[in-house]
Amino acid sequence: MFTRISIHSVTVLDQQEALDFYVGKLGFEVVSDVDMGFMRWLTIALPSDPERQLLLEVPGPPSLSEAVAAQVRDLVTKGAMGVAAILTTDDCQQTYETLSAMGVEFTEVPTRQPYGIDCALRDPFGNHIRITQLAAQPAEITEADIARWRPEAE
């Protein structure tokens, strides 16, 4: 039925500021930047994954009333809009150090997880972005885990 995910929307409050961050700091590239009259159609993608795009969308008329757009902006800046994207990297620590030096706001430093190493940051508006360096193999469940889960009655 479907072959891939091509575009998903990320709500931003200012497209130029979004470009400064996503392109200038995170390393995305602009795919489309078209003035449609009623909106600026602005998509970005990673050079290594050009088929998967983020649409940087500003809430506002005529799509949304001013009142509803204000509610959306309120939610974005409260960090209530969830994760904008989970990005994969080959080297989480190096990515963290590079972006930290650029002043990127990290909410979580690189931490070893069962699935790899990851950290998290916010874009200038409050959207959450996760960066994951995936483990070479799936997390292993040990005998100690199995023993701990076994009900004592068994």
Contacts to another protein by CB under 8 A? 13, 70, 73-74, 77-79, 83, 86, 105-109, 111, 113-115, 118, 120, 122, 125-126, 128, 130, 132, 139, 141, 144-145, 148-149, 152
Nearer to another protein (CB atom), residue 29 or residue 66: 66
Nearer to another protein (CB atom), residue 41 or residue 115: 115
State the minimum distance, in angstroms, from the CB of residue 33 to another protein: 23
Nearer to another protein (CB atom), residue 43 or residue 59: 59
State the minimum distance, in angstroms, from the CB of residue 1 to another protein: 26
Sign (positive or negative) of CA dihedral 25, 26, 28, 32? negative
Contacts of 68 (CB under 8 A, 6+ apart): 59
Nearer to another protein (CB atom), residue 102 or residue 139: 139
Please provide the DSSP assignment of 52-85 as one string.
Answer: EEEEEE---TTTS-HHHHHHHHHHHHTT-S-EEE
State the minimum distance, in angstroms, from the CB of residue 19 to another protein: 17
Alpha carbons 85 and 7: distance in angstroms, whole number: 12
Q: Residue 55's CB: how many other CB atoms inside 10 A?
A: 16
